[in-house]
């Protein structure tokens, strides 16, 4: 069996999917994308495909080593994301050939269902409260919210009070037996993160996510030391080497993205490294159906898994949603805030290939916003 074709599809709202086909007709799917840079990743996927065509798809680790190390220049979000999608597709093929889910090939399941959280938004406490109530009514036991939109390097007392008021509204709806996480999105300076987290601590958030930018990971230990709130990071870290300083700094929750951090192969290794530091895993996944399917395979087989992000119905999904590209959307049915362990071979989903082909190139590449402070200087988003 040999790989004979690699195709990519840019589909709404902002995803890139890849299709890997063998001469036996077995097809694997992956989701290699950097949000806002889909076309760049698409080029990288086709460059890497040159290393795969004509080769045995079952040599997954050998292919991963070749794709990540055969060039003098390595790593970074674009290359790691391109590798991730192809790696997902190869695991999908292997599972289909052997007739088992990917997590069975990774050691077998350690849980039968996967806890997930849902995103909520809103600028006012009442808006956030209403959004949380909807998620609670849908059975979710955990939600995540942004701490703020554009923010100053050092927040005013009023800005801090607004953040806390929204968090208080969320806790009031959830009660003491459900959880909420707060995403700082790297928008805060180290000093500002320490200040704001101190005010959030009495509300007992599940974790605070990305309190500082990844390039300031050497400062995240200062945030950890200043609070008892669990600190999470990792959506913009792409390898074990990237994660190691964060683990050494004492983070509580690692958030590798299955479509950014080298795919299933590398995230499984990141999870194992995290376990040696007593760090839990909460895979980042504001993306599409294949990224979520790959995340669930990891969630089912790693002992230090905490909770899964998912983007069904998220505000980013304009023009299409996660379930629109699946023939079998029931695989992502939530029961009491949990997803059942997937049992179908490979990634456990059936992609609607016709829908994917029809949607390819139907919208311009998504771009992130450009924010500026009142003085005109650039602001992190």
Q: Are 141 and 178 in contact (CB under 8 A)?
A: yes
Angle at Cα 290 formed by Cα 275 and Cα 139, nearest 5°? 75
From its phi and psi, is residue 218 left (phi > 0), alpha (psi between -120 and 50) or beta?
alpha
CA–CA separation, 253 and 242 (whole Å): 14
Active site residue 284: yes
What residues form DSSP beta bridges with 378? 372
- The burial of 29, by beta-carbon neighbours within 10 Å (0-12 exposed, 13-18 middle, 19 or more buried), is given as buried
Asked if residue 258 has a cis previous peptide bond (ω within 30° of 0), the answer is no
Active site residue 103: no
What are the tokens at 238? 């792409």
CA–CA separation, 22 and 36 (whole Å): 30
Residues across the chain: 381
> Of the listed 63, 185, 204, 218, which one is catalytic?
185
At 249, is the secondary structure helix, strand, or coil?
A: helix
Q: Are 291 and 263 in contact (CB under 8 A)?
A: no
Q: What is the DSSP letter of 363?
A: S
Q: Are 189 and 210 in contact (CB under 8 A)?
A: no
CA–CA separation, 174 and 339 (whole Å): 20
> Of the listed 63, 103, 260, 284, which one is catalytic?
284
CA–CA separation, 84 and 259 (whole Å): 5
What residues form DSSP beta bridges with 144? 119, 181
End-to-end, the C-alpha distance of the chain in Å comes to 46
Task: List residues with catalytic annotation.
Answer: 185, 284
């Amino acid at each position: 069996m040999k790989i004979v074709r690699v195709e990519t599809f840019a589909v709404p709202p902002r995803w890139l999917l890849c299709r890997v086909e063998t001469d036996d007709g077995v097809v694997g799917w992956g989701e290699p994308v950097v949000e806002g840079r889909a076309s760049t990743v698409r080029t990288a996927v086709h460059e890497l495909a040159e290393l795969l065509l004509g080769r045995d798809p079952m040599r997954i680790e050998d292919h991963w080593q070749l794709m990540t190390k055969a060039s003098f220049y390595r790593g970074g979000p674009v290359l790691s994301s391109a590798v991730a999608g192809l790696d997902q597709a190869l695991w999908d093929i292997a599972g289909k050939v052997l007739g088992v889910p990917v997590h069975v090939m990774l050691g077998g399941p350690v849980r039968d269902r996967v806890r997930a959280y849902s995103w909520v938004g809103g600028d006012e406490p009442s808006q956030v409260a209403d959004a949380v109530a909807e998620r609670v009514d849908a059975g979710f036991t955990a939600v995540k919210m942004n701490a703020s939109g554009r923010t100053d390097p050092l927040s005013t007392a009023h800005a801090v009070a607004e953040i806390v008021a929204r968090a208080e509204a969320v806790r009031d709806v959830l009660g003491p037996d459900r959880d909420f996480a707060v995403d700082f999105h790297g928008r805060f300076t180290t000093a500002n993160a320490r200040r704001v987290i101190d005010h959030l601590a009495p509300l007992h958030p599940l974790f605070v996510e990305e309190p500082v930018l990844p390039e300031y990971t050497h400062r995240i230990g200062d945030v950890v030391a200043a609070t008892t709130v669990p600190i999470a990071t990792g959506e913009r870290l792409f390898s074990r080497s990237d994660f190691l300083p964060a683990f050494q700094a004492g983070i509580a929750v690692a958030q590798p993205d299955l479509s950014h951090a080298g795919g299933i192969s590398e995230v499984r290794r990141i999870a194992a490294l995290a376990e040696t530091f007593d760090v839990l895993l909460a895979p980042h996944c504001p993306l599409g159906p294949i990224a979520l399917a790959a995340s669930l395979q990891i969630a089912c087989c790693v002992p230090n898994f905490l909770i899964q992000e998912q983007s069904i119905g998220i505000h980013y999904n304009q023009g299409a949603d996660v379930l629109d590209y699946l023939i079998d959307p029931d695989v992502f049915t939530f029961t009491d805030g949990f997803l059942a362990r997937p049992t179908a071979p490979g990634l456990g989903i059936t992609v609607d290939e016709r829908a994917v082909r029809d949607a390819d190139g139907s919208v311009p590449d998504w771009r992130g916003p450009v924010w500026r402070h009142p003085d005109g200087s650039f602001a992190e988003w």
